[in-house]
Structure 1
Amino acid sequence: MAWVQVAVSQSNEDIFDEDADEMYLLQKEWNSTMKKRLKEGYRDGIEAGKELALQTGFNQGYRHGAELMITCGQFKGTLNALLSWCHFNGHDSALSTINNLLDVVGKHEDDVLKYLNSTEEQPHLGHILDSVQDMDLNHTAGTEYREIKDGKHNDCGSSGENICRNNGEVGSLHSECSKANLCTDPEKSTLAWVKMQTVWLVEQLGLSLDVLHHVQQLEH
């Protein structure tokens, strides 16, 4: 009977060994699966973080860019309305000035678009506004700006404000200001200068206070 006991003992040991091997394999598979899921979780988390950051940056950039472009559109709409009014009311002498102001706004709009398109990372709003504020009229002024800078023009006051002389007559607007007078502080933005010129033009044309108030409310 001793051999039976030995056989039973060996059989039990084999069963335990098989159970141990199976448990080891299951534990090994479990550990491998957990490591895999952990890596996938990290990867998914990183990707989700990247997507969220990109989406947030896109939303901010789109909103800031839209705000800048809407401002340009408001100036263009106001100037086009003045252009139509002058056409209908026979103030042909002001047409050239308004068209020049529209050209300045259009060029400024192109510069803003180029800046936004050339920026790889979505910039902070403050950086965009700082860059826009740094834009002056040197690139649109040409020879006339250089003459002003050299002191050859006498139409600029010490404050840099436009004092184009029309002798009280809108009819002389074209002769005295055949182009938008570039008497402006280079530290001021392009749209601030356009706003100043438009306010002056509205006053010279004798338009209502409502129109003047509308122009003064334009943001730049």
Structure 2
Amino acid sequence: MTTEEPIDDIWGGDSDDEPCASADIAKLRRIHNKQGYLDGISRAKESTLQSGFDSGYPEGAQLAIEVGKILGGLQLLASLPAQDPRSEAARQLLSRAKVELHISRVLSWRYFNEDLTLPQDGHRLIVQWKHRVDQLYNSI
């Protein structure tokens, strides 16, 4: 091959006429195609995964903080003296809140938009629990 001849196919060559060489080239082509495909998929997953984590982590952390405030507020009210009517109500609510505000429920698909962002009016479950705790605080 001279330097002036174009290289049309990296798989082509002088030995294409030989059956053994042709089978080896086909096998090598399949291996390289598969490896190239796998490399491309891996790189795409890594970049998508990282960007998804970067955008979702702050929102998830904020949800965790809000759940912590709800549970902490209920725990505070539950620790009031037994003669305070809010104490027993808070204990009952705290027990329910621990189940309903479990991470697997808070991060359920149903509370997010199609693009996995929160609706404008916030996380429906957390908003409901904030309202319950506020009502209990204000019921003196």
How does the TM-score come out when normalised to structure 1? Answer: 0.37
Q: Between 36-45 and 23-32, report the one with greater CA deviation.
A: 23-32
Amino acid at match of 2:15: L
Amino acid at match of 2:90: L
Matched-pair contact (CA < 8 Å) for 1:76–1:102: no
Residues 110 and 48 from structure 1, CA distance in 2 versus in 1: closer, same or farther, beyond 3 angstroms? farther
Aligned to 1:50: 45
* Number of residue-to-residue matches in the alignment: 117
Residues 118 and 77 from structure 1, CA distance in 2 versus in 1: closer, same or farther, beyond 3 angstroms? closer
Measure, in 1, the Cα distance between the counterparts of 2:96 and 2:108: 16
Matched-pair contact (CA < 8 Å) for 1:79–1:102: yes
Aligned to 2:101: 112
Question: Deviation of residue 44 (structure 1)?
Answer: 1.4
The answer to whether the aligner puts 1:68 opposite 2:101 as a matched pair is no
Aligned to 2:118: 126
**Partner-residue secondary structure (3-state), 1:126:** coil
Aligned to 1:25: 15
**Partner-residue secondary structure (3-state), 2:101:** helix
Tell me the percent identity: 21
Alignment counterpart, residue 99 of structure 1, candidates 81, 88, 91? 88
Q: Which runs of 5 or more residues in structure 1 are unaligned?
A: 1-22, 137-187, 205-220
Measure, in 2, the Cα distance between the counterparts of 1:193 and 1:53: 38
Question: Deviation of residue 46 (structure 1)?
Answer: 0.9
Question: Deviation of residue 195 (structure 1)?
Answer: 1.9
Residues 189 and 93 from structure 1, CA distance in 2 versus in 1: closer, same or farther, beyond 3 angstroms? same
Question: Deviation of residue 110 (structure 1)?
Answer: 1.9
Q: Which runs of 5 or more residues in structure 2 are unaligned?
A: 1-12
Residues 193 and 81 from structure 1, CA distance in 2 versus in 1: closer, same or farther, beyond 3 angstroms? closer
Higher relative contact order (CA 8 A, sep 6+): 1
Alignment counterpart, residue 40 of structure 1, candidates 35, 38, 41? 35
Matched-pair contact (CA < 8 Å) for 1:65–1:116: no
How does the TM-score come out when normalised to structure 2? Answer: 0.51
Amino acid at match of 1:125: T
Aligned to 1:195: 134
